[in-house]
Copies of this chain bind each other. A is one copy, B any other.
Amino acid sequence: MICEILSVGTELLMGQIANTDAQYISKRLSELGINVYRHTTVGDNPDRVKLALNEALGRSDLVITTGGLGPTEDDLTKEMVAEYFGLKSVLHQPSYDALMARMTRLHPDKPVTANNLKQAYFPEGARIMPNLCGTAPGCIVTHSGKSVAVLPGPPREMRDMFDRELAPFLSEKTGIVIHSRFLRIFGVGESRVETILLDLFHLGQPTLALYCGVGEVQARITAALAKGEDPAPVLDPVEAEIRNRLGDAVYGEGSDSTLESTIVKELTRLEKTVCFAESCTGGMLASMIVNCPGASKVLNESYITYSNESKRRLTGVASDTLSRFGAVSERCAIEMAQGARVRSASDYGVSVTGVAGPDGGSEDKPVGTVYIAISTAKNTTARKYEFIGDRAWIRKLCCAHALNELRLTLLQGE
């Protein structure tokens, strides 16, 4: 079944609100195995609503509209749908009664206007969808092999009506269930991942798509199956193949899994702790760990060592190191990571020291030069990075890469 979403509302075209209705409906339709081919937004203007509705119905089996259902003059989605199919608008008595009861209760002193009653009229033969969160009911009009579902614009009302009324109607029609898996990938760029997985994009079933995050890539494997069909035989081989080709770069599964949650989970399992010595990231790394519930099992304390003096005092970096190599150096990163581990009596120490900009860069160490070190009981190693971006972005990349290095260290069982 091919579907389009038609959103009606001048406030969308003015940018006063984002079209979260279209996102919500799209996500739910994708789960129901219904393909959305287009979103269209037009203002509250009869000619433009009519034109957009004509076009959408010309291309698809199902059009879902949001907005233009209210009591005002320029709310005319239902009227345009009736006109399209050549249907009369008729009064729906239960909606009329519910509307009267609601209006009288909310505004006992105000007369119910004719405008308000407009909300109880529907195209002849429409299936009515009551609105439990607001005044305007929605409806489904099926005619000449096409369906139009008319939903209200306010997100709370729309979502409730979609889930309670429209979703069951559609699921009945399609008999299809969607199964998705997310793989999270770190350390290989998007275009490189695409090249490595190129042939897997043309399997037909399942489909594969890539999304970008902060220094990471997410791969989504999706299968649209008949109700009751087992997704494992379709998804498992492709997932295995991706893991096989990308190896350790695949760090997690599921849209909720993050580098930090992966690390908190793994450290908890190992009953180990970590401590950070952060210069340019200034606490962001520790904060990412602390944002995960259960962080208290894996982090007791952590140091923000921004000045040279604090690097010396809190993590024991040698004065000689600072004067000979500077704070942004392999040697300093190594001593910071060791100091963080030893002084906090943690199992792992992780340090970040670098030039986040906009000032502080030099020919030798331009903005974006960063050293990340990982210290274990056996070994401490540092790696140099050269990031590109503004201060905030460089700091985020520092955190993502530091977490990834820690993850790889844990994987190696060190």
Contacts and interface: CB of A to CB of B under 8 A. Distances in A.
Contact of A70 (B107, B115, B190): B190
B295 A290 contact: no
B291 A287 contact: no
Interface stretch (A18-26, A76-84, A137-145, A403-411): A18-26
B20 A25 contact: no
A4 B19 CA distance: 15
Interface string A164-193: 000000000000000000000000011110
A39 B73 CA distance: 23
This chain: copies in complex? 2
Instruction: Provide the main secondary structure of the chain A interface.
Output: mixed
A306 B301 contact: yes
Contacts of A212: 154
Nearest to A391: B293
Contacts of A105: 386, 388
Given A10-B209, A39-B40, A18 B15 contact: no
Interface in A279-310: 280-287, 289-291, 293-296, 299-307, 309-310
A116 B293 contact: no
Query: A interface, how many residues as a size bin?
Result: 35 or more
A38 B38 contact: no
Contacts of A294: 359
Interface stretch (A41-49, A121-129, A236-244): A41-49
Given A13-B37, A15-B27, A303 B304 contact: yes
Given A13-B37, A283-B290, A20 B22 contact: no
A318 interface: no
A297 to B, nearest CB: 10
Contacts of A392: 291
Contact of A41 (B22, B28, B359, B395): B22
Given A15-B30, A72-B194, 20 more contacts: A7-B39, A13-B37, A18-B20, A37-B43, A38-B40, A40-B40, A71-B191, A106-B388, A107-B189, A116-B191, A282-B283, A282-B299, A282-B302, A283-B283, A293-B391, A296-B306, A301-B304, A301-B306, A301-B307, A302-B304
20 contacts: A10-B209, A14-B30, A14-B36, A15-B23, A15-B28, A16-B27, A18-B20, A19-B39, A55-B55, A106-B386, A110-B192, A115-B194, A115-B195, A133-B390, A283-B287, A284-B290, A287-B395, A296-B306, A301-B307, A310-B344
Instruction: Please name the 3 residue pairs, one residue from A and one from B, whose CB atoms are nearest each other, closest first.
Output: A282-B290, A283-B283, A15-B27
